[in-house]
Each structure stands twice: as structure tokens, then as C-alpha cells.
Amino acid sequence: MKKNNLLNRRNAIITGVSALGSLLLNGCSESSPPTYGNILRMGDMLTYNAHRTLLPGQSLVKEYAHRDISSFPATGTTNPGDSSRSGFSEDYERFHRKAFADWSLKVEGSVKRPGSYSMTHLQRFPLRKQITRHTCEEGWTAIAEWTGLPLRVLLQDAGILPTARFVNFIAYDGYIDSIDLLDSFHPQTILAYGMNGRNLPVQHGAPLRLRVETQIGYKSMKYLQKIVVTDEFMDNGDYGWAWYTGI
């Protein structure tokens, strides 16, 4: 290899490392993810800023054909309607008993038109179907077809405010998580009410779950109860999982 090529390669590596280091040092800026004050959470920030800087923000993940659909385990799922398990919700149990006929999704926070959306209302929006791969944090993968509405459509209908920065999801089993606006407005981020041509089953998050196809599986929350749009990060404590897990 010629000397000039070696120098160019070395300079490129130094430039790249310097850029990532600069992003890390600027971790307290408004564009950075939360770190919970824990130095181990700095990995969140590095991954987040590297993805946001080096990768196209709205690039699509691979979609598959119907022949690729596979079995899909529901590991780690606790039915919020099961009174014998932790995370029991009387509201969820009541909705489940009535086949979710009276269920609705609340949307509030930094929006012009806070309110509730019934399943009938949600299904009036233009739907999106996508066959994608779910990558679990436990190491397994599965492919399924999801049917729902793009999250961005719901946020626009509610009138998301210019000051908004995070979209928070509250589930009936007590789990709370959030994503930034780039992932919220991604074309493949949907609120799914169908799976493999049928209504979403309970073990996979009925009646409505989030699908964030650009992140590891646990970010695709099940059993959605409420969406809260906020101008600042809503700190719900350290669950032991990274806040950003882009793939």
C-alpha cells in the first residue's frame, strides 16, 4: 500500500473517532438521549449519536414476503388481565372481557387536540401492512406481518406541537418507554392492531401495540394504554435496558 493511501486511511479513522468523541462530549445537549446520570448509559448516547450522524434517519428496514413469515414466540409476556400475575390491570381485564369493544387509546401532552381514539377511529386512518423481522434482545428473531396505522398519522391528527421532542408510551402492564421524533415519524413505526391477517392476539399485545422496526424488539411495546407527547425526556428510572437500541 502506498504511503499516501496509508496516511489518508489513518486521517479518515482519526476524523471518525474525533467526530464520535465530540458527540459524546456534547451528550448534555438537547438532541442527546437520556443517560440517567449513570456512566454506563453513556453507551446509549454514543450509539444514538453514531446512528443519527452516520445513517439516513428515514431509511427503511428490510421487508419480507408472506412465505417468509415464521413462528413467533411471546417470551416474557405477562397478560395484564391475569390477576394472579404481577402487572395486573383491572381496566385491561374489563376491556378484555368485552373483547376490547369499549377500549380507547388516550393521546395527551404537547398536542393541540388531546383526546381518546377508539379502535374504530384508529382503523379509519390509512393503514399500513409490513412484513418485518423482530429481533429480540434474547438473541432470537421472527418474521410477522403487522397491520396498523403509522404513528406519525396519529400524531399529526392530534396536532403535535413544534416544541415536542419525545413520544412516551404507557402500557397496561405498567411499562413506560419513549422514542424520539425521528423514530416516531419513521414510515415503518406503526401502531399495530393486526398480526398475520388477524386481530392482534393478547400474547402479542392486544388490542394495540407499538412497532419500532428500527430498534431491538423490547422497544415495540405491547398493551398500549396512553401516549404522552413531551417537550423534555420523561425520566421513569433505570429499567436495566438501554433507552436507544438501534439496529
Residue showing cell 449519536 = 49
- Give residue 18's pLDDT band: very low, low, confident or very high (50, 70, 90): very low
Lowest mean pLDDT among 10-19, 154-163, 175-184, 227-236: 10-19
Residues 6+ apart with CB under 8 A from 178: 166, 167, 168, 169, 230, 233, 234, 243
Burial of 59 (0-12, 13-18, 19+ CB in 10 A): exposed
Residue 28 has pLDDT above 70, yes or no: no
> Domain locations in the chain?
1-60, 61-247
pLDDT in tens, 43-69: 677 778 788 787 766 789 999 999 999
pLDDT of residue 9 exceeding 90: no
Q: Where residue 238 falls among pLDDT bands split at 50, 70, 90? A: low
Provide the percentage of residues in the chain whose pLDDT is more than 90.
65
- The second-level CATH assignment, the architecture, of 61-247 is Alpha-Beta Complex (3.90)
Nearest in space to 48 (alpha carbons), one of 219, 190, 180? 180
pLDDT of residue 23: 33
- The arithmetic mean of pLDDT across residues 91-120, rounded, is 98
